[in-house]
Amino acid sequence: MTPHISAKIGDIAETVLMPGDPYRAKWAAETFLDKPKLVNEVRGMFGFTGDYKGNRVTIHGSGMGMPSLSIYANELIATYGAKTLIRIGSCGAMQTSVNLRDVIIAMTATTLSTPSRGIMRELNFAPCADYSLLEAAVASARAKGTPTHVGGIYSSDVFYDERPDLTEQMTRHGILGVEMEAAELYTLAARHGCRALAVLTVSDHLLTGDALPSEDRERSFGDMVEIALEAAFA
C-alpha cells in the first residue's frame, strides 16, 4: 500500500493505462478488459486490473495535472513495479489539420515546468515517448483506419490559460495539441527506466472553438483505448 493506492502488491499489472478521469478508468476497464477487478478507490481514484487478449493490464486514474499524475506514476512504478505506462486522455487541437475525434500520438511533450523541474534545475530536459510504444501505436492506428497525428504536444500547467501569445507560438512551431500530464509522465519514465506514451483524443479545438459535447466524449474515446492496448502488447 501507498498513501494514495490501497492495492495489494501483485494486484497491479506491469502495464498501466492512465486516464485522468477515474470514471473514464472505470468505463475503459468495464468496456475493454475481461474480468476487471477494482484494486483501488482511495480518494475516489479508481484502479482496475483485468485481462486484454490474455495480457494482464491495469487501468488507473491519474487525476488532472502533472502534480497529480506524478503522485500516482511514482507510486505505481516504485511500489507496484509498473514498467509500461500509457496516458489515455483528451486534448485540445492546436493545428487546423487536426479535427475533433482525431487521435494524437505524442512523440514529445513541451512544457513550461513540471514537478521534476527542481531536479533538472537549469537543464531544459526534452521529454519524449518510448519509441517501441510509439511505433506500435502508429501501426495500430493505421490498421484501424483512425485519423491520427504524430508529433509534439504541449503539457500545460493550467486549464484556463490566458496566454494567447503562447498558444500562437505553439501553433507556429507545429505543436499538435495541448493537455496537462504527458511531460511529467515521460520524464518519470526516463528517470526510472520505464516505457511511456500518451495517446490522446481531440475533444476540443483551440483555434476554432469547436468541442465535443460531454455525452459524446466517451463514445469517441474507444479508438484511443484500443490503440493504447494494442501498442502495449505488440
> Is 204 tagged catalytic?
yes
The three grid cell numbers given for residue 163, joined into one nine-digit string: 496566454
Residues in the annotated binding site for phosphate: 20, 24, 43, 87-90
H, E, C per residue of the chain: CCCCCCCCCCCCCCEEEECCCHHHHHHHHHHHCEEEEEEECHHHCCEEEEEECCEEEEEECCCCCHHHHHHHHHHHHHCCCCCEEEEEEEEEECCCCCCCCCEEEEEEEECCCCCCHHHHCCCCCCCECCHHHHHHHHHHHHHHCCCEEEEEEEECCCCCCCCHHHHHHHHHCCCCEEECCHHHHHHHHHHHCCEEEEEEEEEEECCCCCECCHHHHHHHCHHHHHHHHHHHCC
- Here the CATH number for the domain that contains residue 204 is 3.40.50.1580
Residue 80 belongs to a domain: yes
Catalytic site residue from 34, 130, 204, 223 = 204
Residue 8 belongs to a domain: no
Residue 167 belongs to a domain: yes
At 123, the amino acid letter reads: L
- pLDDT value, residue 161: 85
Residue 168 belongs to a domain: yes
| pLDDT tens, position by position, 83-121 | 999 999 999 999 999 999 999 999 999 999 899 988 988
- pLDDT value, residue 219: 65
- pLDDT value, residue 229: 98
Residue 63 belongs to a domain: yes
Residue 19 belongs to a domain: yes
Number of structural domains in the chain: 1
Residue 9 belongs to a domain: no
Cβ-count burial 11-37 (b if 16+ within 10 Å, e if not): bbbbbbbbbbbbebbbbbbeebbeebe
Domain encompassing residue 207: 15-232
Place of cell 496566454: 163
- pLDDT value, residue 216: 73
Which residue stretches of the chain have pLDDT < 70? 218-219
Residues in the annotated binding site for a purine D-ribonucleoside: 4, 179-181, 203-204
Question: pTM for the full model?
Answer: 0.96
Residue 151 belongs to a domain: yes
Place of cell 492512465: 18
